[in-house]
Amino acid sequence: MMAADKPVLVPDVSARQVQIRYSFNGAQLLLFGAVVYPGGRPPDRQVDIAVVLRGPVQPILVREKEKIAGVWMNADSNRFRSAPSFYAVASSRPIRDLLDERTAAIYELGLHELQLSPGGGALPEKERRFEAGLLDLRSRQGLYSESPHGVEITGGVLYRAVITIPSQVPVGTYTAETFLIDRHKVIAAATRDIQINKSGFERYVALAARRHRLVYGLSCVLLSLGLGWAAAAAFRRRF
């Protein structure tokens, strides 16, 4: 039974499932919903909304390259135990204007508030350098994003935000989180799950790679050898 003096979020998404086929070149996901206030009347002051679309967490090894003797080589690395494979946050105003750093860190609202769980053993300066490198790399890949004015609120009740999903998005169960923020506090939150899966031939290849790793690896080697032989034969005929 919900408290009578607290608002309630009623969120939804434009698609509960996203299918990745060979022609998939990205998609746009609409996160929308309404705020139900006690007595049906929104407050006179402005309230804000932040939405987060988060992909499955995964361990990742980040490598740092340096140019040594004219050749780019792996010089250092750092492991993160649980970095989200995808993270996009949109808000009605910049997060720094809505929440203090401690509250933003608790809810992981903002790219720089992500809990990336470094592997440990490294100096703090090194961990910060590799965290910045990971954020920059995934931002350039379109896998991490932050939109400080990406949520539209109508009448203090209805809200909507559009999240762009890139073509190389990882598959798995994603979580769409919505936060209602008032006077620097999160006063309501709600979540929805979204499935992003491969279908068709891509699904068959992915399942084969996971279930029959040896056969899949041998098939890839044989296919590469066959294509190389065919290219060499065609080159000899032409010249």
Return the structure tokens found at 165.
Answer: 């999903």
Cα–Cα nearest to 80, from 57, 64, 102: 57
Q: What is the pLDDT of residue 103?
A: 95
Q: How far apart are CA 76 and CA 65, in angstroms?
A: 7
The 10s digit of each residue's pLDDT in 213-230 is 665 566 666 667 766 676
Percent of the chain whose predicted confidence (pLDDT) is above 90: 49
Q: How far apart are CA 30 and CA 8, in angstroms?
A: 20
- Is residue 239 scored above 60 in pLDDT? no
Look up tokens 């988060």; give the residue: 54
- Is residue 1 scored above 50 in pLDDT? no
Percent of the chain whose predicted confidence (pLDDT) is above 70: 76
Mean pLDDT of the chain, nearest integer: 84
Q: What is the pLDDT of residue 201?
A: 45
Find the DSSP H helices in the chain: 95-98, 101-107, 124-140, 201-211, 213-238
**Which amino acid does the sequence have at 6?**
K
Degrees, nearest 5: CA angle 32-36-39: 160
Look up tokens 């720089």; give the residue: 112
Contact between residue 169 and residue 196 where contact means Cβ atoms under 8 Å apart: yes
Q: How far apart are CA 116 and CA 4, in angstroms?
A: 37
Q: How far apart are CA 40 and CA 157, in angstroms?
A: 10
Q: How far apart are CA 106 and CA 60, in angstroms?
A: 22
Return the structure tokens found at 113.
Answer: 């508030």
Q: How far apart are CA 58 and CA 45, in angstroms?
A: 40
Residue 88: left (phi > 0), alpha (psi -120 to 50), or beta? beta
- Is residue 142 scored above 70 in pLDDT? yes
| pLDDT (mean) for 180-208 | 78
Strand order in the sheet with 8-13: 8-13, 27-36, 158-165, 151-154
Distance in angstroms between the alpha carbons of the first and the last residue of the chain: 81
